[in-house]
């Protein structure tokens, strides 16, 4: 009984303890619904490099670049000062710049040396810090791919490629007007025209849609010492290189001129196209042919430049920055811009669908003001568009470029037609190779015979000029497709430009050789 009593008391105590425990527990929380936060992963832009052609001296085809600068061998020169003077800094906008766009994407046709130098300087600039820009990603793509990329909204700026490309983008509505206060202040520093050519594209609404950042030209690099030794004047036009006067070098055993085989040089191909437009198809080919007869044909335009520097020739076809490089390496050299050439501004613009318009405009403003220092680097050697660039420490070291810049402000050049040039470009390149380059031996022998006959008084001036015209005119040949005799006129060139084959080129080579021998047979 005592045992039962004890057990009963123990059970009561246990029940009491359990009741006390549950009484002291906190009430259960009311359940709530939490919406999870979705994080969108950042979009990574992949840069697709464009293969670099193997042809010599391609001025407009860029070498792919990455965001890591690639070291470029630099000739021994005075180091470029790091201080920044004028061009006049752009004024600050009245609104506070946003920092949402930390990376700018730039589609471009420029080579690595320009892009790496620009990126390095820009990211150190106050304007980059002000807009919170931490990186610039360059996308070196063929022009044919630009439109699709712009439509995606994954690019902010287009830079380099020539006015024809940018005018096409403008007409398609793919460029935005440059309207911010900073870029407008920068635009005020840029000349409206240089050498008679526009440095901006202004729409009917009065707004500027692209602006040049550099000036490009094609000309003649000469060695003044060589010309003086031979008693020859400095050339003023393309035609001077094809003259009887320059033929005196041939008679003295020193062919004076130099140019590249056109398929090996896009810059020399452009010069040939300029001559054909400036002088007309028939006269243009006479000038091109006799320029080759007066000198040497090289396998690339770098070799033309180097031959002028070394004094192997007295005058050669070059793009502008080859001439500027020559002037740095040999004080006896000089870059000459003929009035019958083409000068244009190389554009930069903000593109449609950019999500970083303010930052993109700030980059454009920097490129055409403080960023002009880039052109003076010895490995770049371009002509700035902003005259204030010559007031910087770097610009003051280049009086050679300043002299040419001032001359271009007064120059009136031809209005080059890119559409026409493209319509006959294949014919121009491969007719030159077949008719002139592959027949250089016979051409130069015939020209030498003609020069001697003229200067020895065996033939008069009228006869000599008639024979020279015959020597340089486009060939009449048997079309291998039709079996018909045809002359290589401009119209025929446009017709067959996209249909060239080895048979046509061989027909040109054969017909040209026969023509040169025919002319040689008429010279006493």
- Tens of pLDDT, residue by residue over 241-274, are 999 999 999 999 999 999 999 999 999 999 999 9
Q: How confident is the model at residue 505 (pLDDT cuts 50, 70, 90)?
A: very high
Domain with CATH 3.40.190.10 in the chain: 103-216+345-410
Q: Give the residue, 25 or 420, on which the prediction is more confident.
A: 420
Confidence of residue 93 (pLDDT cuts 50, 70, 90): very low
Q: How far apart are CA 303 and CA 320, in angstroms?
A: 15
Count Cα neighbours of 364 within 13 Å in the Cβ-side half-sphere: 37
Sign of torsion over alpha carbons 57, 60, 61, 62: positive
The Cβ-side half-sphere exposure at 242, using a 13 Å CA radius, reads 22
Is the model's pLDDT at 29 over the cut of 80?
no
Residue 116 reports pLDDT greater than 60: yes
The answer to whether residue 12 scores a pLDDT higher than 60 is no
pLDDT(327) > 90: yes
The encoded tokens of residue 343 equal 């000068």
Residue 50 has pLDDT above 60, yes or no: no
Q: How confident is the model at residue 281 (pLDDT cuts 50, 70, 90)?
A: very high
Does the pLDDT value for residue 513 go beyond 70? yes
Binned at pLDDT 50, 70 and 90, residue 80 comes out as very low
d(CA 365, CA 371): 9
| Chain segment 121-165, per-residue pLDDT in tens | 999 999 999 999 999 999 999 999 999 999 999 999 999 999 989
Could you tell me which residues come within 8 angstroms of residue 292 by beta carbon, excluding any fewer than 6 positions away?
257, 259, 436, 437, 440, 443, 444
Q: Is the pLDDT of residue 202 over 80?
A: yes
The first and second tokens of residue 47, run together, are 């840069």
Q: In this prediction, what percent of the chain has a pLDDT beyond 70? A: 81
Tokens of 427: 């014919």
Minimal CA–CA distance to 176: which of 194, 150, 145? Answer: 150
| 10: enclosing H helix or E strand | helix 2-24
The stretch 192-210 carries a mean pLDDT of 96
Q: Tell me the C-alpha distance between 404 and 347, whole Å.
A: 20
Q: Of 437, 456, 452, 436, nearest to 520 (Cα)?
A: 452
Mean pLDDT score, 357-367: 98
Does pLDDT of 64 surpass 60? no
For residue 247, the model assigns a pLDDT of 98
Q: Answer yes or no: is pLDDT of 516 > 90.
A: yes
Instruction: Indicate if the pLDDT at residue 368 is higher than 90.
Output: yes
Q: What is residue 62's predicted lDDT score, i.e. its pLDDT?
A: 32
Q: How confident is the model at residue 96 (pLDDT cuts 50, 70, 90)?
A: very low
- What is the chain's alpha carbon radius of gyration, rounded to the nearest angstrom? 34
Sequence-ordered list of residues with C-beta below 8 angstroms from that of 132, at least 6 positions apart, any chain: 97, 98, 99, 100, 101, 102, 359
- What is the pLDDT at residue 60? 33
Residue 83 has pLDDT above 50, yes or no: no
| pTM greater than 0.85 | no
C-alpha to C-alpha distance for 176 and 185, rounded to whole angstroms: 17
Is residue 232 scored above 70 in pLDDT? yes
C-alpha to C-alpha distance for 376 and 314, rounded to whole angstroms: 26
Q: Report which of residues 28 and 447 the model is more confident about.
A: 447
**How many CB atoms are closer than 10 A to CB 470?**
14
Percent of the chain scored above 90 by pLDDT?
79
DSSP string for residues in 147-172: HHHHHHT---EEE-S-HHHHHHHHHT
- State yes or no: pLDDT of 207 exceeds 70: yes
Read off the tokens for 190.
Answer: 């840029």
**Burial classification of residue 338, based on how many CB atoms lie within 10 Å of its CB (0-12 exposed, 13-18 middle, 19 or more buried):** buried
* CB of 56 closer than 8 Å to CB of 299: yes
The answer to whether the beta carbons of residues 490 and 281 sit under 8 Å apart is: yes
DSSP 387: G
Half-sphere exposure of 183 (CA within 13 A, CB side): 26
DSSP of 400-449: HHHHHHHHHHH-------HHHHHHHHHHHHHHIIIIIITTHHHHHHHHHH
**Parallel, antiparallel, or unpaired for β 257-260 and 295-298?**
parallel
Query: Quick one: pLDDT band at residue 100, thresholds 50, 70, 90?
Result: confident
Cα 358 from Cα 101, distance rounded (Å): 9
39 confidence band (pLDDT: 50, 70, 90)? very low
| Rounded mean pLDDT, 228-253 | 98
Which CATH fold would you assign to the domain 103-216+345-410?
D-Maltodextrin-Binding Protein; domain 2 (3.40.190)
């Amino acid at each position: 009984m005592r045992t039962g009593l004890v057990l009963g008391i123990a059970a009561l105590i246990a029940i009491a303890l359990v009741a006390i425990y549950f009484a002291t527990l906190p009430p259960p929380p009311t359940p709530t619904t939490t919406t999870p936060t979705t994080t969108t992963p950042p979009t990574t832009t992949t840069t697709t490099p464009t293969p670099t052609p193997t042809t010599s001296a391609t001025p407009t085809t860029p070498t792919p670049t990455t965001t890591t600068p690639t070291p470029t061998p630099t000739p021994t020169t005075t180091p470029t000062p790091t201080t920044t003077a004028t061009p006049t800094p752009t004024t600050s906008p009245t609104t506070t710049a946003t920092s949402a766009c930390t990376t700018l994407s730039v589609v471009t046709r420029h080579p690595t040396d320009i892009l790496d130098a620009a990126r390095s300087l820009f990211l150190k600039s106050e304007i980059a810090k002000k807009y919170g820009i931490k990186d610039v990603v360059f996308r070196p793509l063929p022009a044919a791919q630009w439109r699709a990329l712009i439509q995606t909204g994954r690019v902010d700026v287009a830079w380099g490629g020539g006015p024809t490309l940018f005018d096409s983008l403008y007409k398609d509505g793919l460029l935005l007007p440059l309207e911010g206060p900073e870029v407008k202040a920068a635009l005020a520093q840029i000349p409206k025209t240089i050498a008679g050519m526009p440095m901006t594209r202004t729409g009917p609404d009065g707004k500027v849609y692209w602006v040049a950042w550099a000036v490009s030209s094609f000309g003649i690099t000469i060695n003044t010492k060589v010309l003086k030794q031979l008693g020859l004047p400095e050339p003023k036009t393309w035609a001077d290189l094809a003259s009887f006067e320059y033929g005196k070098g041939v008679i003295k055993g020193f062919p004076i001129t130099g140019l590249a085989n056109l398929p090996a040089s896009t810059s020399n191909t452009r010069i040939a196209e300029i001559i054909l437009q400036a002088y007309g198809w028939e006269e243009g080919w006479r000038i091109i042919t006799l320029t080759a007869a007066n000198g040497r044909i090289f396998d690339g335009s770098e070799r033309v430049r180097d031959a002028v520097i070394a004094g192997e020739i007295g005058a050669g076809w070059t793009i502008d920055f080859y001439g500027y490089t020559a002037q740095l390496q040999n004080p006896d050299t000089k870059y000459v811009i003929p009035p019958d050439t083409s000068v244009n501004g190389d554009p930069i613009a903000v593109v449609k669908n950019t999500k970083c318009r303010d930052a993109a405009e700030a980059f454009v403003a920097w490129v055409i003001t403080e960023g002009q220092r880039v052109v003076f680097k010895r490995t770049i050697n371009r002509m700035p568009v902003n005259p204030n660039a010559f007031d910087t420490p770097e610009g003051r070291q280049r009086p050679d470029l300043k002299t040419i810049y001032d001359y271009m402000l007064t120059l009136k050049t031809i209005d080059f037609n890119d559409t026409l040039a493209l319509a006959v470009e294949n014919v121009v390149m491969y007719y030159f190779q077949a008719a002139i380059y592959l027949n250089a031996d016979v051409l130069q022998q015939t020209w030498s015979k003609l020069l001697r006959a003229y200067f020895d008084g065996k033939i008069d001036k009228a006869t000599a000029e008639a024979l020279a015209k015959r020597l340089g005119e486009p060939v009449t040949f048997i079309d291998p497709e039709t079996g018909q005799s045809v002359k290589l006129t401009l119209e025929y060139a446009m017709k067959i430009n996209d249909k060239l084959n080895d048979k046509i080129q061989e027909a040109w080579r054969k017909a040209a050789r026969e023509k040169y021998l025919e002319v040689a047979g008429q010279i006493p």
